[in-house]
Each structure stands twice: as structure tokens, then as C-alpha cells.
Amino acid sequence: MVRRGAYVLTLVLVAALGLGAVLWGRQADAESHVLKGSKVLVWKDFLGVNAQFLWFSPERYQKQIDRLKALGLEWVRLDLHWDQLEPVQGHYQVATLDQLVNKLQDNQLKSVFYLVGSAPFATTAPTGVPYQDQYPPKDPHVFANRMALLAERYPSVDAWQVWNEPNLLGFWRPVADPAGYATLLTTTAAALRAMRPDKPVVAAGMAFFSEMPNGQTMFDALGALGIASLNTVIAYHPYTQLPEGNDPANLDFIAKTTALNQSLRAGGVQTLWTTEWGWSTYTGPKDAQDIISLQGQADYVVRRLALMSALDYDRTFLFTLSDLDQRASVRDQSYGLLDIDANPKPVYTALKYFLDVSGPSLTPGDPPSADQVPDGLFSIGWTRADGRKLWFFWSAQGGNAHLPGLASATLYDPLRGTQTPVSGTGGLTVPVKSNLQILLWD
């Protein structure tokens, strides 16, 4: 998501985020959603974060790393910009990157790096136009060579991702070009595999669900071009206004991602990631994302993570670890789990509570049987590594759930950091809130 300098809003972004949706409101007789994971979930393997460590001094990003490790997580996704690494052809500026890669090794973090943007000598941008780096390179082989050189120099990097969001104008000008990106990916994947055959190659994370301004999707176009035969990791960035979708009257995130993931798997995709998603706490002026509070960000992130845990993803990367300075757009400055000084925001605290209660791994399980639940209930069952049963649940409607098969349990609220014993005869009555809660029982 991060773009240096001015942020350019495109028609596809406006359509994908659904600017008419402004409230997580009450819905009459809203549909309930019961999800169940299909595989064991290990948080440190499943959940990573984006990080802009190169924006900070080593002392500052070490504090960010320490906060990340305190969550029990170890995957980071980092951005590299070709125009910064090689501002003049053949003259590389990699000293700070060398130091960063060593730091990642020292801290035993796993990394995926993506290279994006064209160096000044390589861009197809017409002379004198702005955003020179946002145009694709004249020769894909030159870009591929630079990624291979990076892979050679940094053998400890765990995966390499080719470009970022080429379906958006802000990363691929003057217009989204599936054939052009397919050529870049094919050429670069071959170069990376020749250099590091043991390291995964990740296709660019597509913005949103890969929509393009012409109404088509990049995934459909790339599929028709045979990209699945490359056997790269496929990724997209499911930003939405709400965790459950864009429109409170049509909470379609589960249906939309399920259909897309099934289509990608049927087309031959073996490994599927989401390499960005999250919400900013910017205070305006209003951009594509609705303005939400610090508590709202915490609420949205843990709700979305609960949903994604039970959907068909192999790995997901939250955007982003730390707030950024004025080099980023106003909105992009405030997506962090941490503030600019590496202090936890409410979203960090809620996420840590969520992960602590969940434990290091989860096995698919069933939610408790209920004879009364509010409309619009989101319900996800798991079994913890210690054998205890766990239930993620919430509803915009609020209300109560009656669980006749349980006599006692513990109710956790990640937003408030509370832990409440619940007991009763004839079953449990559990309050249901609009934010995620976790019920734990034997």
C-alpha cells in the first residue's frame, strides 16, 4: 500500500472500497455466518506483518522488531524500491539494506521482500512526467536481473515477490496491463529460480480482489495468459471498509473471498497469500477509507483476523507494523500496530490479547451448540493446542446467545482486555457484542 509522495486515487479503488458504506449498523434479520477452518493453524506461520524498517534508524526498527517478537510472530514483508537502490545505473546503494538483512537474521525473523518501481535509467515513463518510478521498466530482463542479484546477495531472505499492486495506477502507469505484468513476472521468476531454486517466488499482491478500472480483474486476465503454470505464490490485498465487507447491508467478504479462492485453486494455484490488509487511524481529510478511531482499528483487525483464520489462505500479512512519517500519504501514515515511536496502539494490545488467548496453534473445531443467537452472528469454532474449545463470535445486532450444553466457561474481550467467568444451570447465557469476543471451555 505504501506510496512515497502524493497518493493517487483511482476509480478501481473507489469502486472496490464502496464509498457509500459508512456504518457498521443494525440490520434486520441479518444472515448468520458459521465458519470452520479446514487445517491446523499455527499463528507464527500463518500471520505476518508488513514492515517499513528502512524508513527508520536501526535503533528504532529494533524496537519495532522487539514488539513483533512479543506477539509471537516471525514473518515480515518488506518493500524495496529499485529507484532508491540503483538511482544511477550500476551504482548501488545497499549499505542500509545489508544492515537490515543482518538484523533480521540476528532476530531470527523470516522475510519476504518485494521489489517495485523502475529505476530512472530503466523506466518507460515519458520524459518530464511525474511519478517516473511508477511506470514499468523498458526491459523486463533488466528488472529480473536486479531481483536475481538481490537474491544472490541475500540468501537468508525466505521469499521474493515481484512488484506490487500492478492493477492500480499508483504502481503501474499509464494503465493496468496484464500482458505486460505477465511478461515481467515470467522473466523475473525464471531469473530468481535460476539463482535461488529453493526460495518461493511470489506474484505481486493485487490490490483488493484484483479489479481493474475497465471492470475486468487482473486474475482473470493473468489466468487466460497461463500464469498459473509458473507455480508462483498468488497474493491479493482484501482491503474493505468493514471486516465483513464494504456495505453493512451486504456483508459479502466471506462469500467474495470464498468464490475467488475457489476459482484460483481450480485454476491451479497451489499457495495463496494475502500480503496486505488493514485499517488506518488517520484523522482526515477523508480519503477512500472511512475515518475510524483507534479502538475501531483494534476492533476491525481482530474481527478480520478471526474470519481469515478459517478461510482458505496459506499465509496473511497485516498492514502494517508501525505508523510512518510524512513521506507516506496522510492515510498511509497511520496503519500501524505501533505509533511512530514504537509504542503499542490499541490494535497491538488487542491483537496480543487475541493471540495469547488463542494459544500458538488451533485445530478446526465446532462452535458450541446454541438454541438462541442474535441475527447476523459470526461464529467460528476452534480447538486449542491444550485441547480446550474456543469460540470466536460477534454480531452487529448484539444480544445474547444461549448455549444449553455448557455449564461453565470463560469469556474474553480483546478490546477491553477482560476475562469473565460465566456459569449457569440449564446452560449458559452469553452476551454477544458487536466486537469480537472469545469463549473458552473444557
Q: Which CATH number is 371's domain given?
A: 2.60.40.1180
In a domain, 35, yes or no: no
- Cβ(75)–Cβ(111) under 8 Å? yes
4, part of any domain:
no
Give domain status of residue 1, yes or no.
no
For residue 258, say if its preceding peptide bond is cis, omega within 30 degrees of 0: no
In a shared domain, residues 280 and 414: no
Residue 139 lies in a domain: yes
- Outline where 8-94 has alpha helix (H): 11-17, 43-46, 58-70, 82-85
How many structural domains compose the chain?
A: 2
Quick one: 255 and 367 in the same domain?
Answer: no
Q: Phi first, then psi: what are they for 417, rounded to 5°? A: 70, 30
Instruction: Determine the straight-line distance between the first and last CA of the chain, rounded to whole angstroms.
Output: 42
Is 9 inside any structural domain? no
% the chain with pLDDT above 90: 93
Give which of 373, 389, 375, 379 is closest to 430, Cα–Cα. Answer: 373
Could you tell me if residue 3 is inside a domain?
Answer: no
User: Would you place residue 30 in the very low, low, confident or very high pLDDT band (cuts 50, 70, 90)?
Assistant: confident
Mean pLDDT of 339-344: 98
CB 24 within 8 A of CB 242: yes
The residue among 388, 387, 400, 393 whose CA lies nearest residue 414 is 393
User: How much is the mean pLDDT over the chain?
Assistant: 94
**What would the pLDDT profile of 253-289 be if each residue is shown by its tens digit?**
999 999 999 999 999 999 999 999 999 999 999 999 9
Note whether 78 and 127 are same-domain residues: yes
Mention every residue, 6+ apart, whose C-beta is less than 8 A from residue 34.
367, 379, 380
Under the banding of pLDDT at 50, 70 and 90, the label for residue 1 is low
In this structure, the answer to whether residues 136 and 187 fall within a common structural domain is yes
Q: Is residue 7 part of a domain?
A: no
CA angle 20, 25, 29 (to 5 degrees): 115
Give the residue from 298, 297, 337, 331 showing the smallest Cα distance to 317: 337
Residues 223 and 289 in one domain: yes
Query: CATH number for the domain including 247?
Result: 3.20.20.80
Is the preceding peptide bond at 285 cis, omega within 30 degrees of 0? yes
pLDDT at 13 over 60: no
Query: Which residue, 315, 341, 361, sits at the end of a domain?
Result: 361
The verdict on residue 287 lying in a domain is yes
Residues 54 and 107 placed together within one structural domain of the fold: yes
List, for residues 162-195, the tens digit of each pLDDT value.
999 999 999 999 999 999 999 999 999 999 999 9
pLDDT tens sequence across 193-210: 999 999 999 999 999 999
Q: Which of 300, 328, 361 is the last residue of a domain?
A: 361
Phi, psi torsion values for 144, nearest 5 degrees: -60, -40
User: Are the C-beta atoms of residues 18 and 44 closer than 8 Å to each other?
Assistant: no
Structural domain containing residue 411: 363-441
Residue 108 and residue 98 share a domain? yes
Please check whether residues 269 and 298 belong to one and the same domain: yes
C-beta atoms surrounding 197 within 10 Å: 7
Q: How confident is the model at residue 29 (pLDDT cuts 50, 70, 90)?
A: low
Domain boundary among 310, 333, 361: 361
Is there a single domain that holds both residue 331 and residue 373?
A: no
**Is there a single domain that holds both residue 306 and residue 350?**
yes
Q: Are residues 199 and 249 in the same domain?
A: yes
* Residue 3: per-residue pLDDT: 54
CA separation, residue 214 to residues 210, 211, 218, 425 (Å): 12, 8, 10, 59
Check whether residue 289 and residue 299 sit in a common domain. yes
Mean pLDDT on 5-32:
45
